[in-house]
Structure 1
């Protein structure tokens, strides 16, 4: 009936049904027949009812429709993941389900039919992250997926991964908190919990995808970063991005790409050493020691991976000097991470505006739309889209070149603003929070109104919208 009202090409819908029932063609024909009956009825009884017309077009090019969880699952598969430890939780469960489906299709031994990955459903989230850390320590590429409530339970072992320096990959599909919150609503409210997961002085790299393509790219990249930096890396998706379908660029993979396993010594390299090897000894100034995998050499390269205080040779110690050296080296490694994570995307006017806006993740499309509307009304605001934490130097350069910067995010307390102020030692009054946290995807109309109000409070007037302007969703 809708096809008739919108004057849509019935053949396109029929072809779609045939593809839908490709595995059971017998079901396609009765569904197509029902489609034709409804179409004929609407044509006969409701002619010229709707003035809207839908026409077929190829203007989308090679763009695809995909949800972020499926893209993340494919990113893990292409990134080399062979072990999954997980516990079901909304809205991340479909990542593991999709990973299992694709692994069953593309990671099967041809001669035996055996699956070449291990997917282990754990008793709880703490056990799930423990499986990942154990498998990663043994040399596998392993990951888990969870949401905010799961992160709370994984915090203890994320601290172990940080201090024992074990590569770990976690995909956090954020939902509304705190506590159980609203499991079927979206937020960006786990930033602080993930950036500093664990007690003590702890920092974890965060990757901030804005569409399914980046969910794919960044999940794959997370494994390289985790092994290069020997630390947990967390991909920060959310329910809107993860579970809803989005329109965007196709996924792509370079067949010549090789995994970055970081500083892993093999048996020959251990034999060639002329000095005593230390697991936590930084020999080239990047804050990262070299590691070995179990069974590499019968005598050399053995160490104790521990969450207790240790020296450069992994020996337990409560010596203050050794502890300070470890913590300072980890701080230096954090600076190395700053040079390796994805850089921001900046759009600046010429000359640069004195106003700026920072946003990230699923907030991106609405933020761009809102700021483009304000630009059309004569108010230029330069933009920076964050893609990772720690923040590369360009982020602070962008802030320092502007009088006022709005930080747009989907949580109540302005968590990204807090991270920016802390990491950049910035004056708080230079960063203004624009927050939306009702659990629904943020709308551009809301952002336009919030920005107008924030500017008015600071004596900046925005030219009114002309007729037809500002009618954004």
Structure 2
């Protein structure tokens, strides 16, 4: 995976890698060959990657030797050794160790021993880098204040919050990547904020047997006057075509979230796409022209959720919110809402 830190807020992946942490022995040499001259490489000593090229900056670390004294139990060493990387990277990129400890304590909040063990491995890496790895590359991390007062949230959670604030009372859904986390987030939020003083829920969230049943429940609830929604992906949208036509011509309001992905094939659901726009705009049979809202940020996932319900009632029709995997499932920095 790739991490990009940029003072101007750029978040798109770029082709060039400035600092490579070679954690996969099977692809390490190929990864090194793909780097531009002057890039830095951190690697496990036995890989001997410095012999591959002479125009890169190499940092060799004996991870097995460093983790042995930290973790006497051989079974746990494989789990802990990668934390040596964290310590070395913290030293080389000038990352505050206090922040590293805070992140580890949060990750292992209920496992104090595990947190201490991982911190010891991080410290071993940091100490080794301090003693034996002089800084030879120009890269570093600097604390800045541009993220002050920002929040971090994924698009699906923002959408779930927006739907709750919009007054949704019925959610019917069938699990499908990458939309499942939207109704799952809605379940948690509604349990917290939409239970009456008498302890009874003021909402209904139903996991349907399939996508056809999910959209059917939305239409039935909308017919009865409820604010209802479902969330799905492209294959689910295809299955909802006939019911969408029914809602369109009978003028029944409802909201459908399409968290778009690439195709129905195995593996492709984990890739993002915006390929459902045209087919969804004219979904069903006949002269249907659906309303589509297309958010570009977590903030818009929140605000357009509310817009969708308002438009659905105003025009007495289905409204589709066209998010995608990248926006829906990844964490984004956003202004508070």
Q: Is the Cα contact below 8 Å between 1:149 and 1:179 reproduced in 2?
A: no
Alignment root-mean-square deviation, CA? 2.1
Verify: 1:185 aligned to 2:271, yes or no.
Answer: yes
- Match of 1:65? 152
Matches within 5 A, 1:316-355: none
**Alpha carbons of 1:97 and 1:49: their partners in 2 closer, same or farther (altered >3 Å)?**
farther
Verify: 1:241 aligned to 2:324, yes or no.
Answer: no
**Alpha carbons of 1:215 and 1:28: their partners in 2 closer, same or farther (altered >3 Å)?**
same
**Alpha carbons of 1:179 and 1:53: their partners in 2 closer, same or farther (altered >3 Å)?**
closer
Q: Is the Cα contact below 8 Å between 1:5 and 1:49 reproduced in 2?
A: no
Verify: 1:154 aligned to 2:240, yes or no.
Answer: yes
The Cα of 1:21 is off from its aligned counterpart by: 4.0
Alignment coverage as a number of residue pairs: 250
Verify: 1:53 aligned to 2:119, yes or no.
Answer: no
Structure possessing the higher relative contact order (Cα contacts under 8 Å, 6 or more residues apart): 2
**Alpha carbons of 1:2 and 1:234: their partners in 2 closer, same or farther (altered >3 Å)?**
same
**Alpha carbons of 1:111 and 1:178: their partners in 2 closer, same or farther (altered >3 Å)?**
closer
Q: Is the Cα contact below 8 Å between 1:81 and 1:140 reproduced in 2?
A: yes
- Match of 1:228? 314
- Match of 1:132? 218
Mean alpha-carbon deviation: is it higher for 40-49 or for 116-125? 40-49
The Cα of 1:23 is off from its aligned counterpart by: 5.4
- Match of 1:171? 257
- Match of 2:206? 120
For 1:47 and 1:123, the matched residues in 2 are separated by: 60
- Match of 1:94? 181
- Match of 1:145? 231
Paired residue secondary structure (2:269): coil
Mean alpha-carbon deviation: is it higher for 115-124 or for 82-91? 115-124
Q: Which runs of 4+ in 1 moved over 6 A?
A: 178-181
For 1:128 and 1:3, the matched residues in 2 are separated by: 48
- Match of 2:62? none
Paired residue secondary structure (2:280): helix
**Alpha carbons of 1:108 and 1:36: their partners in 2 closer, same or farther (altered >3 Å)?**
farther
Q: Is the Cα contact below 8 Å between 1:81 and 1:142 reproduced in 2?
A: yes
Q: Which has the higher helix share?
A: 2
For 1:92 and 1:86, the matched residues in 2 are separated by: 9
For 1:167 and 1:11, the matched residues in 2 are separated by: 51
TM-score, normalised by the number of residues in structure 2:
0.69
Q: Is the Cα contact below 8 Å between 1:208 and 1:235 reproduced in 2?
A: yes
1:5-25 CA distance string (max 9 Å, x none): 111111122223333444555
1:139-168 CA distance string (max 9 Å, x none): 221110011110110011111111111111
- Match of 1:215? 301
For 1:234 and 1:186, the matched residues in 2 are separated by: 18
1:284-321 CA distance string (max 9 Å, x none): xxxxxxxxxxxxxxxxxxxxxxxxxxxxxxxxxxxxxx
For 2:131 and 2:189, the matched residues in 1 are separated by: 46
Paired residue secondary structure (1:183): helix
For 2:161 and 2:123, the matched residues in 1 are separated by: 37
TM-score, normalised by the number of residues in structure 1:
0.50
**Alpha carbons of 1:42 and 1:106: their partners in 2 closer, same or farther (altered >3 Å)?**
farther
1:379-429 CA distance string (max 9 Å, x none): xxxxxxxxxxxxxxxxxxxxxxxxxxxxxxxxxxxxxxxxxxxxxxxxxxx
Q: Which of these residues, 19, 35, 46, is aligned with residue 106 of structure 2?
A: 19
Q: Which of these residues, 285, 292, 314, is aligned with residue 199 of structure 1?
A: 285
The Cα of 1:28 is off from its aligned counterpart by: 3.9
